[in-house]
Amino acid sequence: MAADDSRGRIAALDIGEARTGVAVSDPDSLLARPLEVVSSDRLEEYLRGLLSEEAVAEVVVGVPKTLGGEIGFQAERVLAELDALRETFPTVRFVEWDERLTTRLARSSRGGPRRKGGPKERVDHLAAAGMLQEYLDRRGTFEATRRGP
């Protein structure tokens, strides 16, 4: 688990109270792909395997700020989980990412809201992939600007 963010894949977590969506980049950190939805109470164990199996060096964690950009109850809960992950995995770079509306966008991309009384479709991994792709796109733009012409 290297701390050097220039090597290794980038993963994303959409941490929820019961479930966490997981996505990972390709080796060149250009494209995000959804992986799966895991139980939030076994996230630490899952992340340990993901870091080694996928050679992940950086993890983007969605912080669900309010529409006004403030830290609400859900964001506080995610930030507390993020603090615990940073303590458990000190060599991994964790990045906080404003993930407002990613779950809603992921759900709408799957055909809109669920039918009343129907099972809730798990889209947390799609939300994580959308968030990761946004991060990768912005990161690429920033690095190209930093290098200059």
The amino acid sitting at 139 is R
Strands, DSSP E only, in the chain?
9-15, 19-25, 32-39, 56-63, 93-98
User: Would residue 1 count as lying in a domain?
Assistant: no
User: Would residue 3 count as lying in a domain?
Assistant: no
Q: Is the pLDDT of residue 117 over 50?
A: no
């859900």: which residue's tokens?
A: 74
User: Would residue 112 count as lying in a domain?
Assistant: no
Q: Cβ–Cβ contacts within 10 Å for residue 13, how many?
A: 30
pLDDT of residue 148: 54
User: Would residue 113 count as lying in a domain?
Assistant: no
Q: What is the mean pLDDT of the chain?
A: 82
Say how many domains are in the chain.
1
pLDDT of residue 45: 96
Here the CATH number for the domain that contains residue 91 is 3.30.420.140
Domain that holds residue 96: 9-107+118-147
Q: Is the pLDDT of residue 39 over 80?
A: yes
| Alpha carbons 34 and 31: distance in angstroms, whole number | 10
| Confidence at 22, pLDDT banded by 50, 70, 90 | very high
**Poorest-confidence range of 64-68, 84-88, 127-131?**
64-68
User: Would residue 131 count as lying in a domain?
Assistant: yes
